[in-house]
Amino acid sequence: MPPFLADALARVKPSPTIAVTTKAAELKAAGRDVIGLGAGEPDFDTPANIKAAGIRAIEEGRTKYTPVDGIPELKRAICAKFERENGLSYEPAQVTVGTGGKQVLYNAFMATLNPGDEVIIPAPYWVSYPDMVLLAGGEPVVVAAALETGFKITPEQLEAAITERTKWFLFNSPSNPTGAGYSREELKALTEVLMRHPHVHVMTDDMYEHLTFGDFTFCTPAEVEPGLYERTLTVNGVSKAYAMTGWRIGYAAGPKELIGAMRKIQSQSTSNPCSISQWAAVEALDGPQDFIAPNRALFERRRDLVVAGLNACPGITCPVPEGAFYVYPDISGCIGKTSPGGAAITDDEAFATALLEEENVAVVFGAAFGLSPNFRVSYATSDAALTEACARIKRFCEGLS
């Protein structure tokens, strides 16, 4: 009998970050005092003005199907956002809105990848990138960034990874899982490579644009190198900046042909993103932006707390990231040891498993993000939880023998 499930499924794995979050929640429900550092979402509520816009949309009956890739009002607000914050001019026909940035990225891969097409993905990467590429029938080409370069790839590495089959270069700054952000000069050096290879398109995932710290300034490829504008898909969303993960709105702007192809795919899958959420997103983009700065300051303080806490643990080296709400410590110094509870710490997955079992701290192991031995901490949680988690990790590391 032919198999019931599609062959494509054998190429992908379920999201490990969602698995860790689920496991931590289960243990918590069973009465264990677990501190979950796995979640990829802000720990505060959607701002009141945005919630009110959603409620208004319901009350005004904006509860029907909408145009496939977004209501005109939201597309206009997105064009205004790109102009205002990124110096990029787009018209509404160049804009698509989807059910989260995740669907937008997925649509783009589905719309463009043929068997054998390659997508360059710097590692550590967001867990979904390689699997989305595989599901769409393409080939992920992973380029590992080093701890020494702050988890950023070099122009030489990018140049070496490009082949005639390269369709996309996938760029994510600030990054999930490392928080690493490319400076304008660092990004410019990458765009110079891309300018030499006109067949390579650029997909930039700017989801963490507003979560940057200190004097780091966010920049995006088409802005840094206008010569790339015609072949860049600039992806963004409201999930992280506006604490709207559950509303499921992401968007992108790029070449009309690509946007049209993505629309075709969306028209045969989800039809359109939630109408109510679209109206809330209009308010997020057009409304007051004054809560972004305090949130950024809050996350920066937590970053400093966690980086200091982890660097005090024997065997751990934690670089200081430029943005997002993650750190990605290196645990080379812990590998090959035995945990206080007797577990062999053979790799980062064994480390994370033992840490959860013995100290009730849930982190995501580095292999999930394509670079080991590391783990990812999401510091989108309270100062008290972070302080206690760092103390537990320290005790765990001090007990390694």
What residues line the site for ligand PLP (CB under 6 A)? 40, 100-102, 126, 172, 176, 205, 207, 237, 239, 245, 250
Q: Residue 13 and residue 4: Cα distance in Å, rounded? A: 18
| Long-range contacts of residues 59-64, Cβ cutoff 8 Å, at least 24 apart | 62/275, 62/276, 62/279, 63/275, 63/276, 64/275
State which residue, 126 or 396, has the beta carbon closest to ligand PLP. Answer: 126
Number of Cβ within 10 Å of residue 50's Cβ equals 25
SS3 228: helix
CA atoms within 13 A on the CB side of 156: 1
| Smallest distance from ligand PLP to CB 173, Å | 10
| Smallest distance from ligand PLP to CB 326, Å | 9
State which residue, 345 or 364, has the beta carbon closest to ligand PLP. Answer: 364
State which residue, 132 or 194, has the beta carbon closest to ligand PLP. Answer: 132
DSSP 238: S
DSSP-derived secondary structure for 247-313? G--EEEE--HHHHHHHHHHHHTTTSSS-HHHHHHHHHHHHS--TTHHHHHHHHHHHHHHHHHHHHTS
State which residue, 178 or 339, has the beta carbon closest to ligand PLP. Answer: 178
Q: How many helices (H) and strands (E) does the chain have?
A: 13, 12
| Smallest distance from ligand PLP to CB 240, Å | 7
State which residue, 245 or 275, has the beta carbon closest to ligand PLP. Answer: 245
| Residue showing the smallest CB distance to ligand PLP in the complex | 100
Q: Residue 370 and residue 331: Cα distance in Å, rounded? A: 15
| Smallest distance from ligand PLP to CB 303, Å | 16
| Smallest distance from ligand PLP to CB 358, Å | 28
| Smallest distance from ligand PLP to CB 85, Å | 17
| Smallest distance from ligand PLP to CB 127, Å | 9
| Smallest distance from ligand PLP to CB 273, Å | 10
State which residue, 266 or 360, has the beta carbon closest to ligand PLP. Answer: 266
State which residue, 21 or 166, has the beta carbon closest to ligand PLP. Answer: 21
State which residue, 270 or 317, has the beta carbon closest to ligand PLP. Answer: 270
CA dihedral 208, 349, 105, 276 (to 10 degrees): -70
Q: Which residues, other chains included, contact 65 with Cβ-Cβ below 8 Å and sequence gap of 6+?
A: 271, 272, 275
| Smallest distance from ligand PLP to CB 354, Å | 26
State which residue, 325 or 351, has the beta carbon closest to ligand PLP. Answer: 325
Q: Residue 293 and residue 275: Cα distance in Å, rounded? A: 28
Note whether 207 and 173 are within 8 A (CB): no
State which residue, 250 or 309, has the beta carbon closest to ligand PLP. Answer: 250
User: Computed over its alpha carbons, how large is the radius of gyration of the chain?
Assistant: 21
State which residue, 40 or 138, has the beta carbon closest to ligand PLP. Answer: 40
Q: Which residues, other chains included, contact 47 with Cβ-Cβ below 8 Å and sequence gap of 6+?
A: 242, 243, 284, 291
Q: Residue 26 and residue 193: Cα distance in Å, rounded? A: 47
| Smallest distance from ligand PLP to CB 104, Å | 8
> How long is the chain?
401
| Smallest distance from ligand PLP to CB 281, Å | 11
Note whether 287 and 49 are within 8 A (CB): yes
